[in-house]
Chain A
Amino acid sequence: MKKMAFLSALLVLTIVGSARADAVLVLNSEEASYSILSRSGRAELARLPVGREPHHLIVTPDGKEVVVGSTATNELLVLDVKTGERRRVVRDIIDPYHMGFSPNGKWFVTAAYRLDHVDIYRADDFKLAGRIFIDGLPSHLAFDADSKTVFVTLQQTGRVVAFDLQTQAIKWNVKVGEAPAGILMLPDDKRLLVALTGADGLVVLDPKDGSTTATLQTGKGAHNFWPKGDGRHYFLSNRVEGTVSLIDTQDMKVVGTVRVPGGPDCMDITPDGKELWVTQRFLRRVAVVDIEQLKVVASIPVGKSPHGVFMLKSEAAGPASGPVRAVSTAGGSK
């Protein structure tokens, strides 16, 4: 049996290794596994074990590793950003549902969705710097550009709260609407977008005081953001509606919509910028959207309740891009 297991592992690693240049990683949240897909072949190459209830992932500030939060085992599984191979496990990170590194690389923050607290760790050694208990299912988080503030959505109470990273004090705590989930700081550092999963669009907040400055209708169950890459356009998945909206954040309007059935959730874009990959939670698939045509061109079978999705970096790729991208990587909800 041991020999068989070794040979299978060898085979998997060989396949993965040969496809590393164009591999995609998908977290199967209800299966304790992650799938490695071939981007060009549009097929699952391997399914490997990973903790329990893995939901989100985030690239380390140096761009060399990708961190997977294993929520039910209180640990982080650190994978190679190029191959997806397992490197190490960081223990005692309680309920790491949604995560983010502050733009200056100093802080690592987690939203413990089921345990109702936000944890601030030192990013260099993952030592806990502070734990803030707050009711209401802390769901997603985002940072301001100078790494002074972390903004957290509270899905159950319909609020967004801003914490000072250094002092861990609450700066403001405001009601924004039904079930806020995905949260995104725009590059101008002056507008905070919050997707309302219990409504049909997003609200724009002023990061200084949390006041609502604009709203935009996108689709029922507006949920999670992903940058198109030009600093202006962003995708937003609408879980209940079964669509993904393309938003122009300069004019603050929807400029395109694509139907993605089955509870679309997290997203990532291929390095050439031509395809958007979207997890379809209910259908146990990942949809491939042609961005120019705004049309689903493929749907690839994976494991149960796929959540986080991530394009592994090829040898040619440099460190992960800036904080906006890193924050957006960890999107989605229960």
Chain B
Amino acid sequence: MRDLIDIWVGIQTWIFETFVGPVLFRFGQMAWYEPGYNAVEFVMLGVVQIAVIAVGMRFFERRWPLERPGKDDGLILVDQVYTVLNKLGVIPLAIFVVTYPLVQEIELTVRAWGFAPPRLERVLPWLGDNALASFLVYFILYDFAAYWLHRAQHAFPWWWALHSLHHSQRRMTVWTDDRNHVVDDLLITLALVLFSQMVGVQPGEYVVILMIGRLVESWSHANVDMGFGWLGNRLLVGPRFHRLHHALASPEERHIQDHNFAPVFPIWDILFGTAIYDERNRPTGVADPVVDADNGRGWLVQQVTVFWRFVRTLVPRFRRASAL
């Protein structure tokens, strides 16, 4: 394990000291020296994730596809663009630039008041002796927050206007997970970072949670009819479980997408009564023609049209104007 860490940080250090560090030094930005080093790791993790998706997960999709290749295959391309932009840090960097001052201000204000949420280890000292248990507890807490945020994305019309972009994909694949509007990504990131700071997730843990969580989510969007067995499907979200959440509503199942929200651990759906386990395979997408029109559009056009969808939902005046 230590050999792997040495190889990993060796590459990270070389990239940083060769390309990033000298630029920060040259332009007098040494306050960003440590964050810059961590940003290199973020991009490296993105490369690993893309490799796992493109090689590992795609193998299963090619070998055992649920939906056979067809005329809609072109719809997948834009999702690949989303994945590359996200995993290689382009979107996260933009979000970081916008959210950092805000998150920093909130955190510092709270700390200046003297409030510093303790890590769980203070309440449960045994956690401190077990790094794996500690990591799992923080992961579960993080996923709990993500579950409720996901429900909020479906509950508030203005948020659904953004999140519906993710659901509009008719050809769901391992690339679909990153298909989100940047404002949607921004809101979710802001909420999860603040939550993580409140419960005491360490920066290092946050990166690992993010990486494992997003890989599980990429897999749960895969175009395969697979699960983890009766027990496994109740412990970890898989493609069969999550595909139901993306199912196209029908007159018999008008609210089918209000189920199976959990990002990683299905326990939240089971506990809060939103879980459905069945073997039926349903087509995916959104019946609303305005939302369905996202299909076939490129990244930029999707971002612009969905942003206006969001504004119209949020501001009644624009909604009326658009109805005329």
Q: Which residues on A are within 8 Å of B, measured CB to CB?
A: 1-2, 4-5, 8-9, 12, 30-32, 48-49, 51-53, 72-75, 92, 94-95, 114-115, 137, 155-156, 178-179, 197-198, 220-221, 239-240, 242, 261-263, 281-284, 301, 304-305, 333-334
Contacts and interface: CB of A to CB of B under 8 A. Distances in A.
Contact of B31 (A32, A48, A137): A137
A179 B126 contact: no
Interface in B2-43: 2, 5-6, 9-10, 12-13, 16-17, 21-22, 25, 28, 30-31, 33-34, 37
Contacts of B119: 32, 49, 51-52, 73
Given A282-B37, A283-B9, A30 B203 contact: yes
B72 to A, nearest CB: 45
Given A8-B129, A92-B114, A115-B108, A156 B25 contact: no
B157 interface: no
Contact of B17 (A94, A242, A305): A242
Q: Is the interface of A mostly helix, strand, loop or mixed?
A: loop
A306 B216 CA distance: 31
A5 B126 contact: yes
Given A53-B202, A156-B31, A301-B2, 17 more contacts: A1-B126, A2-B126, A30-B204, A52-B119, A52-B200, A72-B111, A73-B119, A94-B114, A115-B111, A178-B28, A198-B30, A262-B9, A263-B37, A282-B9, A282-B12, A282-B13, A304-B204
Given A8-B129, A115-B108, A282-B37, A31 B202 contact: yes
A283 B13 contact: yes
Interface residues of B, number: 36
B116 interface: yes
Interface string B210-243: 0000000000000000000000000000000000
B226 to A, nearest CB: 34
B322 interface: no
Contacts of A220: 25
A333 B35 CA distance: 12
Q: Which 3 A-B pairs have the closest CB atoms?
A: A49-B128, A5-B126, A179-B30
Contacts of A92: 114
B126 A74 contact: no
Given A5-B130, A48-B128, A179 B31 contact: yes
B125 interface: yes
Given A31-B202, A31-B204, A221 B37 contact: no
B104 to A, nearest CB: 8
A155 B30 contact: yes
B8 to A, nearest CB: 9
A282 B125 CA distance: 29
Contacts of B9: 262, 282-284
B121 interface: yes
B114 to A, nearest CB: 6
Nearest to A8: B129
B118 interface: yes
B251 to A, nearest CB: 51
Contacts of B108: 114-115
A135 B9 CA distance: 33
B112 interface: yes
B133 to A, nearest CB: 8
Given A1-B126, A282-B9, A284-B5, A52 B202 contact: yes
B125 A5 contact: yes
Nearest to A307: B34
A333 B119 CA distance: 24
Contacts of A51: 119
Contacts of A263: 13, 37
A94 B114 CA distance: 7
A221 B22 CA distance: 10
A94 B111 contact: yes
Most buried by B among A2, A73, A137, A220: A73
B263 to A, nearest CB: 25
Given A49-B121, A240-B25, A301 B31 contact: no
Interface in B43-61: none
Contacts of A12: 129
B132 to A, nearest CB: 13
Nearest to A220: B25
Nearest to B130: A5
A74 B204 contact: no
A197 B116 contact: no
